[in-house]
Structure 1
């Protein structure tokens, strides 16, 4: 079993209550030396002491054992790769020491660095249009992404609610739509009707609360109709659960809270259609074959990709994935992350990454091994997906999806089996954003990097006009 080490959190809890180690030891009925060993991660925490801490200090025991060090370490290493931090880099032991002994300081440093990055990215987008007053503020999209990532993209309360509802309404994959439709009518008095595209005003779903009717656009295929009904069921049956989860998101704007409710309801819908235990078992058995999972649970390729990022239940974890969706212009339209991979927020992702070339082969899964500037290695698969077509003018509404994991998990995926991951030539050197990528001699460079001076010699023409 994995040892539960809570040194930094225990130290911070003691300091928050302005106690010495001896005073905390007296409250918990243990020795001062034992508290010292716990704070320095030289002893693991027992269940008995965990419960005593929870009772004595009024804290949720789950908050005490939640390990955020992996994300902190990845974010810290990524930040320190920025050329603005010139000079000798801190080694891994120093970084882990900072996280263990000064986690709040590390958190403040990362927030300061993120503010710096946000300011630069906004300036790049604004150009000469001027600087807004909220230059350093996080966008609701960023706050939402960080909220999901802080939870490892896993919400056990929604999982349990979905499992309970599925137990109340047992059904096969062919009957889910009828069962959800009947439940909305029976329990909530809400009818479900299909509506012509012309009457939907470009919407896919409209819940008319006054008339107690959910209208679904004829543009939706069956898989997405089922998903939309599961989404509505969550909104009407579990509003208090959504409010409770959203309260901890850090989002204050009404529109941002509504967006958070939408994403959490989407999570619930995926959990209802792909119940955790059978979905996890099938994913492991099929080596994460997305098409087979889609067929087994009667859902779409994209819905499976999204669901795979949520398999982080204690004792039954799946491969930790990140998921990214972009349009043909490179704009990021969806992103979820249970890994250390730093996802682009605004698009402009690296053209070396075949997420973008997937548009050339619609519907075909394209695997790729990639390496980031900091040396992190990942395995990704990319494929296109189609959006609902409303008219001749909305044809070819194609998006590209990418699902990826750290290299150490690639052996669990069927898509990686044909490759020799020991071959260094297998890895494509990618970045997250060209403006901020420090790579030199990149044939795909499209912008002068902000912090790196590229050598330019008038007597020599390099791969691009930015570098000789």
Structure 2
């Protein structure tokens, strides 16, 4: 297979302040060959890749690996905006743009995101009135910037995985011994005491880390899997502080709120990697055909944690199925999202109401499956189920959320939940990203007219909704 590394090679050369002549000398090749490589007019050979490691300290697997999947998905998602109807490049053109002008393609996606954010936020300002506080609304939500960062990394962080693998220093801890082992480890290595406290002592918190008292307090409202998760999370924040700050420094997140959110998500990633070790989890996931109930029991975690971990299995040479994951509340707000697929998750407003995840609240605890089709004809197999949240008192009942995890239908045969479906015969549910930019003008679930749809509503007829044209 031919490997083209033009844009990456050019970026590497510029980072080191080298001309093509200097790079040619470092790699033992001609200047004209460097030029052809940078233009993607020649594929790179293995000897040149090995020379790159010797001369520049770059692992050939990093520079040769195809890491454009997420970027291509982002640009395809942006081009689904009805703004581009009639002028939408085909896939071949997009791949050419990614190969020859990746920075320009990235700038286009960044500009489109800024347009979406500005449109959404200006509408908020208009709704709130033009008071003195209105300009403070014009900023990108921390959740969006964190999601973009995780997406650019395909929701996989090798350095956190490596740190997690060394957490137990080569020992294997049984699931039923995990809580005691964690308490012991925190006490011996970090001098921290773990104490489970009554809800009355922490009426609004599930976990508190008190540095001054060297104590971690866990609410009695937490179930066993979440007590484990919170203890590893605290250990990660303390022990991996330097690594977390290093990764944060590599992001474009500058505001303290966004950095704090990202730090928490990275610590969550570390905790999941400790409780569900990569190789063991991937092997068990494949053997069970991604039976998330089974995986939750086997690793002593919650259903939500088992699903979330599946989205991170993107290690080069040992990949799992690329999944997306989202969590919603009863109002349809997306409260968590991670993505290793081409599926474009809503950033503004709620998720598409045609997704079965919204119906999960009618059948708590039951897994439902669905095949969906996006406006660009890409199709996905999606699983949905409710998950319970800690209940502090009888006044805080029914605090369920719902989660959805999905993959491209080409992977559905590897999933046990799809065994009862005839995928070639199953009618896909037509969905969109959300109503604000969905081009399905006559959808019977449309909540409002898309901002960029120009066709006026026909006053002489009443369609399935008031917005039908």
Matched, 1:457 2:458: yes
Tell me the residue number matched to 1:71: 70
Contact 2:311 2:323 in 1 (8 A): yes
Per the TM alignment, residue 467 of structure 1 is displaced from its structure 2 partner at its CA by 1.6
The superposition leaves residues 130-161 of structure 1 with CA deviations (integer Å, 9 ceiling, x where unpaired) of: 47436664322111111111111111111111
Matched, 1:319 2:321: yes
- Flag structure 1 segments of 5+ consecutive residues without an equivalent: none
Contact 1:335 1:343 in 2 (8 A): yes
Tell me the residue number matched to 1:402: 404
> In 1, Cα distance between the equivalents of 2:244 and 2:173?
25
| Structure 1 range deviating more: 360-369 or 199-208 | 199-208
> In 1, Cα distance between the equivalents of 2:458 and 2:359?
32
Matched, 1:383 2:382: no
Per the TM alignment, residue 42 of structure 1 is displaced from its structure 2 partner at its CA by 5.3
- Flag structure 2 segments of 5+ consecutive residues without an equivalent: none
> In 2, Cα distance between the equivalents of 1:134 and 1:61?
45
Tell me the residue number matched to 1:89: 88
> In 2, Cα distance between the equivalents of 1:83 and 1:66?
33
Contact 2:237 2:267 in 1 (8 A): yes
Per the TM alignment, residue 62 of structure 1 is displaced from its structure 2 partner at its CA by 6.2
Tell me the residue number matched to 1:9: 8
Contact 1:25 1:32 in 2 (8 A): yes
> In 1, Cα distance between the equivalents of 2:335 and 2:167?
30
**Aligned positions of 1:60-209 closer than 5 A:** 64-130=63-129, 132-133=134-135, 137-209=139-211
> In 2, Cα distance between the equivalents of 1:199 and 1:460?
61
Per the TM alignment, residue 401 of structure 1 is displaced from its structure 2 partner at its CA by 0.1
Per the TM alignment, residue 56 of structure 1 is displaced from its structure 2 partner at its CA by 4.0
The superposition leaves residues 39-58 of structure 1 with CA deviations (integer Å, 9 ceiling, x where unpaired) of: 34455444543353355456
Call closer, same or farther: CA 1:43–1:348 in 2, change over 3 Å.
Answer: same
The superposition leaves residues 294-344 of structure 1 with CA deviations (integer Å, 9 ceiling, x where unpaired) of: 111111100101100110111110001111001001111111111111111
| Structure 1 range deviating more: 138-147 or 353-362 | 138-147
Contact 2:20 2:35 in 1 (8 A): yes
Call closer, same or farther: CA 1:378–1:41 in 2, change over 3 Å.
Answer: same
Matched, 1:467 2:442: no
Call closer, same or farther: CA 1:34–1:216 in 2, change over 3 Å.
Answer: same
Per the TM alignment, residue 254 of structure 1 is displaced from its structure 2 partner at its CA by 2.5
SS state at 1:334 partner: strand
Contact 2:381 2:412 in 1 (8 A): yes
Call closer, same or farther: CA 1:256–1:60 in 2, change over 3 Å.
Answer: farther
> In 2, Cα distance between the equivalents of 1:461 and 1:86?
25
Tell me the residue number matched to 1:251: 253
Per the TM alignment, residue 345 of structure 1 is displaced from its structure 2 partner at its CA by 2.3
> In 1, Cα distance between the equivalents of 2:16 and 2:259?
32
The two structures have a TM-score, normalised by structure 2, of 0.93
Contact 2:367 2:384 in 1 (8 A): yes
Tell me the residue number matched to 1:308: 310
Tell me the residue number matched to 2:218: 216
Tell me the residue number matched to 1:334: 336
Contact 2:196 2:219 in 1 (8 A): yes
Aligned-residue CA RMSD (Å): 2.2
| Structure 1 range deviating more: 87-96 or 409-418 | 87-96
Per the TM alignment, residue 250 of structure 1 is displaced from its structure 2 partner at its CA by 1.8
> In 1, Cα distance between the equivalents of 2:136 and 2:42?
45
* Match of residue 366, structure 1, among 365, 368, 373: 368
Per the TM alignment, residue 364 of structure 1 is displaced from its structure 2 partner at its CA by 0.5
> In 1, Cα distance between the equivalents of 2:327 and 2:435?
18
The two structures have a TM-score, normalised by structure 1, of 0.93
Contact 1:356 1:400 in 2 (8 A): yes
Contact 2:122 2:138 in 1 (8 A): no
Per the TM alignment, residue 169 of structure 1 is displaced from its structure 2 partner at its CA by 4.2
Tell me the residue number matched to 2:438: 437
Counting matched residue pairs gives 466
Tell me the residue number matched to 1:271: 273
Matched, 1:233 2:238: no
> In 2, Cα distance between the equivalents of 1:193 and 1:13?
50
> In 2, Cα distance between the equivalents of 1:390 and 1:248?
38
The superposition leaves residues 226-252 of structure 1 with CA deviations (integer Å, 9 ceiling, x where unpaired) of: 111111111222211111111112222
| Structure 1 range deviating more: 23-32 or 389-398 | 23-32
The superposition leaves residues 358-387 of structure 1 with CA deviations (integer Å, 9 ceiling, x where unpaired) of: 111100001000011111111110000010
